[in-house]
Amino acid sequence: MDVYRINKEPYYTEPLSVVGSRRHGGRWNPKGVGILYTSRTPELALLETLVHLPPLSLGELPPVWLTTLRLPDGPGTVFWIDPNRLPPYWKSGTLAETQGILSDWLNQPFSLALAVPSVIIEVSYNLLLHPQHSMYSHIQVVNQVPIVIDSRLR
């Protein structure tokens, strides 16, 4: 399975690094715990990036790169989370609330990836990759290309 990630320059040179999520935390992980946020499609990866950028003009945006990652095949690669099984606050809760939802997986990754619904488009999925899972070292960087953000999006 291929998954996608958008990185701002200069961070695209280390596409599997979890330093940013470890340093800042995110919806699904607290500070101090690094995971790799990816998306099932390039379009969702771009939307997830744009929604987290400050309101800048197109000319002020840093250059961005699309990375395609290939996950290894096999049992235990991806566990899909049904949005109906998540607590009602998963989309609107504070980070402190949502960061605890996946604490079991964060502490002991039973799968390389957890597929979680996107807050932006609930029928689309982001895949969270755990660097402490034994299959993480088997992720392949398939492609990296700079992308130009269409001016109609900003």
Strand, helix or coil for residue 52: helix
User: What's the confidence (pLDDT) of residue 154?
Assistant: 56
Range 74-113 burial, b when 16+ CB lie within 10 A, else e: eeebbbebeeeeeeeebeeeeeeebbebbeebbeebebbb
When divided into structural domains, the chain yields a total of 1
User: What's the confidence (pLDDT) of residue 10?
Assistant: 80
Overall average pLDDT of the 64-76 stretch: 94
Instruction: Determine if residue 74 is left, alpha or beta; phi over 0 gives left, psi from -120 to 50 gives alpha, anything else beta.
Output: left
User: What's the confidence (pLDDT) of residue 11?
Assistant: 80
The single residue listed with the structure tokens 């269409």 is 150
Per-residue pLDDT tens for 105-136?
A: 999 999 999 999 999 998 999 999 999 999 99
The answer to pTM > 0.95 is: no
Domain that holds residue 17: 2-153
Across the chain, mean pLDDT equals: 91
